[in-house]
Amino acid sequence: MLARLNRPVKIVLAVIGSLIVLAGVGYYAMGSYADSENAAAARPLSQDSGRAARGPAPAIDGRWSTHTGSTAGYRVREALHGKNVTVVGRTDHVDGHAVASGSTVRHARLSVTLAAVHTNSKARDAYFRSQVINVDKHPRATFTLTEPINVGGLATHTGQRTVTAHGQLQLNGTRHAVTAEMHVVRKADSVTVSGAIPVTWTDYDVAPPNLGFVQVTDRGQVEFRAVLTKN
């Protein structure tokens, strides 16, 4: 039958066949890219705060400040040609402090340098710093505790505990009340606090990128791990 087809028809069929093959290759490539991106995405910081066996520790009273090992960033979901991709941005440019008295943390503040947040894509990072958030105008994101936190037995003992923190998140020149579950790990000479703050980006005047072939969802998380040592 093919032998009876004239040359133009054969060419058209060949082109159609090539397009079908390319479409299949493209779909497979996008799937492979999505899989590799998801595999490269760092796991939530709340899962990297470590553990501590229960035992006696010095009183927690006093001022604690961020130390080496502190990190923060964001976690968002992208839809890339119909494939779901998790994107994680991180930085260790984090500073902050907490003040405790008895078994209560009465004041805490954590600040992140946004220009230092990076993913595995330089192009994505450049777009974030110039189009998503104007980091020259709004260089930092800051969480401030607004209600005291009771840390219970961690005031005088090592161990771990989950607490609920109420505070304000300032991002892109906008401030909103937020609530976050925090995992606290107390060691003899340090306290590690980690967690994630759920955010709706448009609440902070952040327009999730929509470039046609890739769309970022409006909801995400601001993640953090603060390693604190006593002053």
Q: Are residues 135 and 97 in the same domain?
A: yes
Q: Are residues 128 and 24 in the same domain?
A: no
Q: Are residues 63 and 34 in the same domain?
A: no
Q: Are residues 16 and 114 in the same domain?
A: no
The pLDDT mean for the chain works out to 84
Q: Are residues 203 and 222 in the same domain?
A: yes
Average pLDDT over residues 208-227: 86
Q: Are residues 53 and 123 in the same domain?
A: yes
Q: What is the pLDDT of residues 83-127, one digit of tens each?
A: 888 999 999 999 999 999 999 999 999 999 999 999 988 988 998
Selection from 8-17, 24-33, 114-123 with the highest mean pLDDT: 114-123
Please report which confidence band the pLDDT of residue 208 belongs to, taking 50, 70 and 90 as the band edges: confident
Q: Are residues 182 and 143 in the same domain?
A: yes
Q: Are residues 195 and 92 in the same domain?
A: yes
Q: Which of 14-28, 160-174, 180-194 has the lowest mean pLDDT?
A: 14-28
For residue 40, what is the enclosing H or E element?
Answer: helix 7-40
Q: Are residues 28 and 65 in the same domain?
A: no
> Is the pLDDT assigned to residue 151 strictly greater than 60?
yes
Q: Are residues 117 and 34 in the same domain?
A: no
Q: How far is CA 107 from the centre of its chain?
A: 24
Selection from 15-24, 25-34, 189-198, 201-210 with the highest mean pLDDT: 189-198
CATH number of the domain enclosing 70: 2.40.128.110
H helix runs in 66-174, sequence order: 122-127
Instruction: Provide the residue count of the chain.
Output: 231
Terminal-residue alpha carbon distance, the chain? 86
Q: Which of 27-31, 113-117, 154-158 has the lowest mean pLDDT?
A: 27-31
Strands 55-56 and 157-171 turn out to be antiparallel
For residues 224 and 27, which has the higher predicted lDDT (pLDDT)? 224
Please report which confidence band the pLDDT of residue 27 belongs to, taking 50, 70 and 90 as the band edges: very low
88: containing domain:
44-230
For residues 13 and 146, which has the higher predicted lDDT (pLDDT)? 146
Torsion sign across C-alpha atoms 40, 42, 44, 46: positive
In the chain, the number of structural domains is: 2
Q: Are residues 173 and 210 in the same domain?
A: yes
Q: Are residues 106 and 122 in the same domain?
A: yes
Q: Which of 101, 88, 166 is nearest to 128 (CA)?
A: 88
> Is the pLDDT assigned to residue 175 strictly greater than 70?
yes
